[in-house]
């Protein structure tokens, strides 16, 4: 099953609970605008390459549309559509005044030079600047993009519309970024993991955690949970995994990756394993924090973790989700679990509009407040409706979006 089918299926389950008529469903699953652009770029060796870029603006009933910009070779319009819809439900679940969007370019940034990535980014902005902007659609980092890419985006946008740092979030702190944005998604995954453990009566020191992906989300999640005294026993990146049953030295691994172009390749102080083996390890918490479709009908029966926290977007496909639910495992869904990033992006955007910068402590405290409220609301909805946390989160998000659309007279 593809990502788009999965999000639509999750949408329909919640829409059934809300008894939404077919006409409203059609409106809510249809994107407001979808754009595919051509990106011709001169490469370092003088060759001309042409790439494809996408921006899907899904829904703006609750505010300007918000969503990441992904650079990955497998980016296509269907994937971006699914991710844009997820953003609409995610911003609604955490009650931010935003709608949802997503963008991407089908490139592999690991084989491109910084200059090539900069030219591709600027050309993309040339093509989309007319229908994005601080009151309309605000990108942020996602897989394969970082604060540097956001800085180029802001500078190129400025050439058309004047200085306005609120046009993009996830910028470097010295260029109107928010302290704490870089860590926010992983920190949020960690905060929510601790909340869930508390509800399930488990203690961090007795909790073994396995994390797939050691990029922005995976590494900050590992850092936070290690500090919170969980035992992080395995992590991985696209080249493979590393396992140490008595707990990994997470700070050492973060330092290693930082000095090794972001990868753990060659790390010696743990047992090397494959990404498949990692998913099947004996542990209390499994956190997919890399790619979509990490948990499917092919591997779900081999997964042992009773708790799954979706750091990545769309990591669990519905066939596998049904198995996990039937077996009584707890899945904290992506639209809540990884919402820390968009929450701090919202703080950054609000600060940019006031030309004022909060301290790191304030960012962390407010993040905790927003995520705690969202967690409690989803937990309560699941109890009330006797559903999984995923369906509860969708009911909450879709309910808020459809009420806003109805009040605005759109449906
Ligand atoms: P990233 O590019 O910083 O890191 C991705 C990590 O996944 C890297 O360690 C990479 O080696 C690893 N990886 C890639 N392909 C893999 C594979 N086939 N098997 C195992 N590992 C693989 O990306 P990120 O920003 O950490 O994003 C990870 C996930 O989290 C994505 O699904 C993204 O949509 C989601 N997410 C990110 C943010 C954010 O703020 N960065 C916010 C919300 C959700």
pLDDT in tens, 328-379: 999 999 999 999 999 999 999 999 999 999 999 999 999 999 999 999 999 9
Among 300, 322, 337, give the residue marking a domain's end.
337
Note whether 236 and 297 are same-domain residues. Answer: yes
Cβ of 185 below 6 Å from ligand 1: yes
pLDDT for res 384 = 97
Same domain? For 36 and 104 the reply is yes
The answer on pLDDT for 3 being more than 90 is no
pLDDT over 80 (residue 1): no
- 134 and 205 inside one domain: no
Per-residue pLDDT reduced to its tens digit, 168-226: 999 999 999 999 999 999 999 999 999 999 999 999 999 999 999 999 999 999 999 99
Which domain does 105 fall in, by range? 29-175
Q: Whose CA is nearest to atom 40 of ligand 1?
A: 341
Q: Residue 410 pLDDT more than 70? A: yes
pLDDT digits over 36-60, tens only?
999 999 999 999 999 999 999 999 9
Residues 161 and 192 in one domain: no
Q: Based on the domain organization, do 159 and 233 belong to the same domain?
A: no
315 lines ligand 1 (CB under 6 A): no
How many domains does one find in the chain? 2
Give the residue carrying structure tokens 């540097």. Answer: 148
Last residue of a domain, one of 313, 337, 361: 337
Is the CB of 216 within 6 Å of ligand 1? yes
Same domain, 300 and 158: no
Asked whether residue 117 is assigned to any structural domain, the reply reads yes
| 290 in contact with ligand 1, CB cutoff 6 A | yes
Are 36 and 160 in a shared domain?
A: yes
Any idea which residues carry the catalytic annotation?
102
Q: Is the CB of 236 under 6 A from ligand 1?
A: yes
46, part of any domain? yes
Is 139 inside any structural domain?
A: yes
Residues 65, 135, single domain; the answer is: yes
Asked if 237 and 271 sit in the same domain, the reply is: yes
Residue range 101-108: average pLDDT? 98
pTM across the whole model: 0.96
**Same structural domain for residues 39 and 109?**
yes
CATH of the domain at 164: 3.40.50.10860
- pLDDT computed for residue 5 by the predictor: 87
Co-location of 91 and 201 in the same domain: no
Q: Is the CB of 141 under 6 A from ligand 1?
A: yes
Residues 159 and 206 placed together within one structural domain of the fold: no
Q: Is residue 233 part of a domain?
A: yes
Distance 204 CA to ligand 1 centre (A): 24
Where among 175, 194, 213 does a domain terminate? 175
Give me the mean pLDDT over the 280-301 stretch: 97
Q: Which CATH number does the domain housing residue 246 bear?
A: 3.40.50.720
- The answer to whether residue 8 sits within a structural domain is no
Q: Does some domain include residue 359?
A: no
Indicate which atom in ligand 1 lies nearest the CA of residue 214: 9
Distance, CA of 348 to CA of 58 (rounded, Å):
22
Residue 21 belongs to some domain of the structure: no
Task: Name the residue of 143, 185, 277, 289 to mutate for ligand 1: max ligand atoms within 8 A of Cβ.
Answer: 143
Own/partner contacts of 294-301, CB < 8 Å, gap of 24 or more, are 294/212, 295/320, 295/321, 295/324, 296/320, 297/323, 300/324
How many angstroms is it from 356 CA to the middle of ligand 1?
Answer: 30
Q: Supply the residue whose CA is at minimum distance from atom 13 of ligand 1.
A: 238
Residue nearest to atom 31 of ligand 1 (CA): 312
Mean pLDDT confidence for 219-235: 98
pLDDT-above-90 percentage for the chain = 98
406 within domain boundaries: no
């Amino acid at each position: 099953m593809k990502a788009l089918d999965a999000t639509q299926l999750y949408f329909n389950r919640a829409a059934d609970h809300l008894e939404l008529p077919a006409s409203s469903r059609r409106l809510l699953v249809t994107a407001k605008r979808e754009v595919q652009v051509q990106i011709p770029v001169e490469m370092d060796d003088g060759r001309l390459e042409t790439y494809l870029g996408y921006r899907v603006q899904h829904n703006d009933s609750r505010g300007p549309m918000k969503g990441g910009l992904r650079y990955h070779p497998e980016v296509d319009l269907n994937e971006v559509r699914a991710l844009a819809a997820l953003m609409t439900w995610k911003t609604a679940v955490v009650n931010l005044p935003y709608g949802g969007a997503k963008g991407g370019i089908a490139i592999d940034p690991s084989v491109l030079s910084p200059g090539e990535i900069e030219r591709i980014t600027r050309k993309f902005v040339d093509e989309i600047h007319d229908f994005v902007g601080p009151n309309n659609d605000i990108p942020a980092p996602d897989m394969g993009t970082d604060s540097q890419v956001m800085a180029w985006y802001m500078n190129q946008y400025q050439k058309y519309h004047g200085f306005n740092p609120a046009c993009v979030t996830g910028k470097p702190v010295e260029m109107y970024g928010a302290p704490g944005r870089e860590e926010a998604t992983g920190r949020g995954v960690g905060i929510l993991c601790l909340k869930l453990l508390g509800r399930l009566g488990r203690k961090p020191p007795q909790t073994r955690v396995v994390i797939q992906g050691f990029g922005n989300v995976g590494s900050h999640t590992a850092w936070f949970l290690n500090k919170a005294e969980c035992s992080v026993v395995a992590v991985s990146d696209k080249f493979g995994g590393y396992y140490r049953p008595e707990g990994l030295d997470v700070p050492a691994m973060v330092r290693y990756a930082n000095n090794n172009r972001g990868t753990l390749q060659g790390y010696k102080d743990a047992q090397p394993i494959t990404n498949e083996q990692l998913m099947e390890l004996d542990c209390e918490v499994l956190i997919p924090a890399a790619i979509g479709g990490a948990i499917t009908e092919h591997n779900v029966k081999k997964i042992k973790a009773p708790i799954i926290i979706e750091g990545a977007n769309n990591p669990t496909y519905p066939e596998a989700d049904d198995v996990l639910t039937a077996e009584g495992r707890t899945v904290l869904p992506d639209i809540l679990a990884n919402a820390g990033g968009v929450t701090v992006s919202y703080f950054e955007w609000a600060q940019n509009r006031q030309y004022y910068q909060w301290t790191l402590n304030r960012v962390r405290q407010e993040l905790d407040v927003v995520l705690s409220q969202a967690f409690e609301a989803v937990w309560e909805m699941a109890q009330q409706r006797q559903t999984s946390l995923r369906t509860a989160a969708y009911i909450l998000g879709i309910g808020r979006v459809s009420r806003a659309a109805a009040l605005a007279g759109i449906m």
